[in-house]
Structure 1
């Protein structure tokens, strides 16, 4: 189909079959068909015209005649072009077609042709032209949209919020979302919105960037300045006013966001959940600390019980050892008495008085050097082999004494070289503290082991006591033994 023609389908009946073909209308048929596609004003219809039907397409002529061209800045340019309901949603094509329609309907030449009187300098058509100049150019239109007289800059009241929180605030945030520099403004949502969605919404609005600017409200036009200085002064004043209005606008947006945030039941719920979560974490931490403390206390109690048990076991073991030692001492004392009685009953197996004295001393040596098992074995052997077993035991005792004496002599020889120096760890004691019960017992034993006639007898006895004294912290010398002989004999008695 070429320009200026309208294609239509005409059904042609043929004797054999029906065929549909597209044909071009010409002449009167063409114009009749075209009129079906024209608007009442004679403007060709488009898809955008469907939006305009019933929403201010027809502008009241009395409203247009009431317009003053000199007051163009205070006029609603969308309403003048019949776009009062579409407003900022109107596309460039919508604005262009609306202007064409207004030209066809209200151009002064057409009105003059109808016999209407037109005052050229004061005609309302000047307002239509001015409205198209502003809305048909992106920058002036942006300036006008920023101060759209139909936009409500007010904030919802507390009563409105209490009555319908989500409904009211969804409406206000949707209206103000038109000023966002960023696309995809997040929705306010409903009561069941997720926490991530709510946080994303408030993060967006607390960091809101508005493209709204207020140059349309400039009180003075700098181009009207008579010279460069005046124009600069006008521009400075206008810029200061714009900045002030921009700050007020951002404060208004912030107040709206704060109002929503402070009344948001979801935020209160999230805060309560966070508070409960922290409280639960704190309780869990306290429970863990208490459990740890309880475990530590239990471990301490168990350790104390184990220590107490170990101490009791040790005390029991020591007591058992003491009992065993006492039993050993009793048995040893019994065996010694048995030995002494047997030897005495046999007159010490002596052939003469000299042997008797020697065997008497030997009996004490055997008692002092033989342990329990050896004494038991000796007593048993003496039942069958009396003198022979006794003499053999006496020789064994002499050998033990000789070996011990040799060891004492070696030790004494080593100490002679350092006798002038008091050994470390040996403390000086008072004379009355020298003879403890242990030292007295050692003295008695040493006197029996090393009878009169032993070479350097008192030195040997002193060395024996020093070696066998508990702790080995008290030194005994021969002079101490000689000076304390009487006290030792009294202790024996």
Structure 2
């Protein structure tokens, strides 16, 4: 069971008896014991032995030779002023300098230690071993121990050439020869490696664009902390060290910006004088010119095609118009010809009747029988007005064979009667149908006067009246000046339609009640409400009949609407209530009536303006007194931050407002929470206000 549970048995370590790991462990053990690594590692030698052999053979060709000049340089060094020395020169690395690896720096340092350490016996060349070794130690600590310290020294390498050529010295022949070394020198400070080279005149466009894109976005790790004037570690306290660091950072930033400006100037000079860039710009210019020319040709071709299509449409339209004009001309000619032929046939039938002596025996008989002649003439004129050309031609042919008056009159009547003529029958049927439909339409339309008479009659003769609808129709026909008389069925039908459409709205969504309230028709408003009109119906601006009546000052209409429970504090699309409208248009009685019925004097609109603020802005003292009496708040502010005192139009109104507010505040019970006015009527308050107004007016004058 224990074998099945994970963790009970220790894991066995698998040791490979052969391979690189096994051989490495054996070599390490033998080196630790000082034994030979043969036969596993045949060429293993001690590091000291290798260095001595290399030194004897002179195989460190990357190190400087220790000449008299070098020894003289070492003798002049001061360990207390180590910042002034060239650390790479001290270590013998002037050939490599910043390209030297960490291993090479350590090797050079060991070589110098072996030679110049004070404890070594061979360090006797007349040099101060302690000071020289201290300088070597300082050099190694600067460039061999820390990467940051080495970068600090490399940033201010005294052998680094920061010069850049002038743009005037560059031309097509020496551009690459002069600028390539400059970019190679500065590439050492780039954060991103590798750095693209400048190239030559045969470099492709991609390489050139990549090169300038890299250098225009160049990021440098170069920093100038090595040149700090003071070492912050020498500060006595934290504050002093902080100030030293602050000054050092400011100086570093100045040098860094100066170096970035130098690189930016170098790149701009190279970009402006690079023959490859000029060639690329020329190619780009030619390409754009070709594209522009191509677009111009396409545009001209498109415009030419559109112009041709437009001309073709104009030609087609002109042909269509000409064709239509030709057809109209032919139709007009045919119509004129038909009219002319019709006139000829009409003249023919009239001449036929006249020549036939109206089918009487003699001219004396014509004078004696003028009625019979008139009957024939009437029938002929009817036929001339209604009959077609073919009918007139056929009739003339038939009348030539008739000589008796009665037969002629009978034939004319038959032809003029729609029942005996197929063509006239269809025509007359259509005319009669149109006339009957027009009469029905006319009779179905009720005028405003008839509707008002209907409302009055319906209320004058209430349900239960004997022969009610007969009396209603008689009342309408008696007082209506129209020719159309309304029957009982028309009145009943219209009454039902009236009840259904009494709340119907027009294009502006106004109902009949709104129009009546706006025009101040008290009786009509009452009748409409009794017939089912909705009191709080709104128009397109969300205005009710009460708002419209309040705006025009219709006191009786407002009273009726309030009696029928109209909403006092309903607001339109701008947030204005009926009280807002009454205050805006200076209707004092309406304001008083609305306040008595419970209107809110502190109700704000979309601009946060209350009726109190509107009254102050209008300068109406009596309305302001009414509003304050019903607990209007003069301290409320609108969106502009103005209250009643700042909106008062003059000093006189401001003084009245302050005095009135004090009177009302002293007269009210502070524990009262309802909106009942203080003792005394509004009229008394207004009279008191008039007296104060007179006194304050004389005082201000």
Which TM-score tier does this pair reach, normalised by the shorter chain?
0.5 to 0.7
Deviates more, 1:237-246 or 1:282-291: 282-291
**What TM-score does the superposition give when structure 2 sets the normalisation length?**
0.44
CA–CA distance in structure 1, aligned partners of residues 204 and 335 of structure 2: 84
What's the counterpart of residue 374 of structure 1?
A: 391
CA–CA distance in structure 1, aligned partners of residues 236 and 358 of structure 2: 158
What's the counterpart of residue 323 of structure 1?
A: 333
- Structure 1 residues 187 and 96: alpha-carbon distance in aligned structure 2, compared to 1, 3 A threshold: same
What's the counterpart of residue 113 of structure 2?
A: 103
CA contact (8 A) 1:156 1:168 kept: yes
Structure 1 position 64, deviation (Å): 2.0
**What TM-score does the superposition give when structure 1 sets the normalisation length?**
0.59
What's the counterpart of residue 184 of structure 2?
A: 174
CA contact (8 A) 1:56 1:79 kept: no
Deviates more, 1:137-146 or 1:386-395: 386-395
Please point out which of 118, 128, 144 is paired with 2:136.
Answer: 128
CA contact (8 A) 1:96 1:136 kept: yes
1:323-367 deviations in whole A, cap 9, x for unaligned?
Answer: 213322443344455556666676654456358946873656655
CA–CA distance in structure 2, aligned partners of residues 309 and 251 of structure 1: 75
1:76-124 deviations in whole A, cap 9, x for unaligned?
Answer: 32233232222112121111112223334455565658x75454456x4
Structure 1 position 192, deviation (Å): 6.2
SS at match of 1:213: coil
What's the counterpart of residue 423 of structure 1?
A: none
Please point out which of 72, 88, 101 is paired with 1:78.
Answer: 88
CA–CA distance in structure 1, aligned partners of residues 245 and 339 of structure 2: 124
1:297-346 deviations in whole A, cap 9, x for unaligned?
Answer: 66665565455444433432332223213322443344455556666676
Please point out which of 53, 58, 74 is paired with 1:39.
Answer: 53
Matched, 1:64 2:54: no
- Structure 1: 5+ residue runs without aligned partners? 9-21, 418-493
Deviates more, 1:240-249 or 1:349-358: 349-358
Structure 1 position 232, deviation (Å): 6.9
What's the counterpart of residue 141 of structure 1?
A: 150
- Structure 1 residues 119 and 319: alpha-carbon distance in aligned structure 2, compared to 1, 3 A threshold: closer
- Structure 1 residues 126 and 363: alpha-carbon distance in aligned structure 2, compared to 1, 3 A threshold: closer
CA–CA distance in structure 2, aligned partners of residues 240 and 221 of structure 1: 14
Please point out which of 144, 147, 164 is paired with 1:155.
Answer: 164
- Structure 1 residues 23 and 259: alpha-carbon distance in aligned structure 2, compared to 1, 3 A threshold: closer
CA–CA distance in structure 2, aligned partners of residues 23 and 208 of structure 1: 48
SS at match of 1:84: coil
What's the counterpart of residue 644 of structure 2?
A: none
CA contact (8 A) 2:152 2:224 kept: yes
CA contact (8 A) 2:117 2:129 kept: no
CA contact (8 A) 2:90 2:136 kept: yes
Q: Which gives a bigger RCO, structure 1 or 2 (Cα 8 Å, sep 6+)?
A: 1
What's the counterpart of residue 212 of structure 1?
A: 222
What's the counterpart of residue 417 of structure 2?
A: 399
CA–CA distance in structure 1, aligned partners of residues 235 and 383 of structure 2: 143
Bigger radius of gyration among the two: 1
SS at match of 2:53: coil
What's the counterpart of residue 605 of structure 2?
A: none
- Structure 1 residues 384 and 154: alpha-carbon distance in aligned structure 2, compared to 1, 3 A threshold: same
CA contact (8 A) 1:143 1:213 kept: yes
For the aligned residue pairs, the C-alpha RMSD in angstroms reads 5.0
CA–CA distance in structure 1, aligned partners of residues 346 and 231 of structure 2: 139
Structure 1 position 155, deviation (Å): 0.9
Alignment of 1:112-123 (within 5 A): 112=122, 116-120=125-129
SS at match of 1:181: coil
CA–CA distance in structure 2, aligned partners of residues 366 and 238 of structure 1: 124
CA–CA distance in structure 1, aligned partners of residues 409 and 304 of structure 2: 72
CA contact (8 A) 2:155 2:223 kept: yes
- Structure 2: 5+ residue runs without aligned partners? 1-26, 443-701
What's the counterpart of residue 342 of structure 2?
A: 332
SS at match of 1:39: helix
Structure 1 position 144, deviation (Å): 1.8
Alignment of 1:388-467 (within 5 A): 390=408, 393-399=411-417
- Structure 1 residues 337 and 77: alpha-carbon distance in aligned structure 2, compared to 1, 3 A threshold: closer
Deviates more, 1:218-227 or 1:331-340: 218-227
Structure 1 position 271, deviation (Å): 5.0
1:219-273 deviations in whole A, cap 9, x for unaligned?
Answer: 5556667898887776565544433322322222222222223223454455556
SS at match of 1:69: coil
Alignment of 1:232-311 (within 5 A): 238-269=248-279, 271=281, 305-306=315-316, 308-311=318-321
- Structure 1 residues 319 and 171: alpha-carbon distance in aligned structure 2, compared to 1, 3 A threshold: same
CA–CA distance in structure 1, aligned partners of residues 247 and 105 of structure 2: 33
SS at match of 2:417: helix
CA–CA distance in structure 2, aligned partners of residues 335 and 226 of structure 1: 137
Query: Aligned pairs, how many?
Result: 384
Structure 1 position 63, deviation (Å): 1.7
What's the counterpart of residue 449 of structure 1?
A: none
CA contact (8 A) 1:112 1:118 kept: no
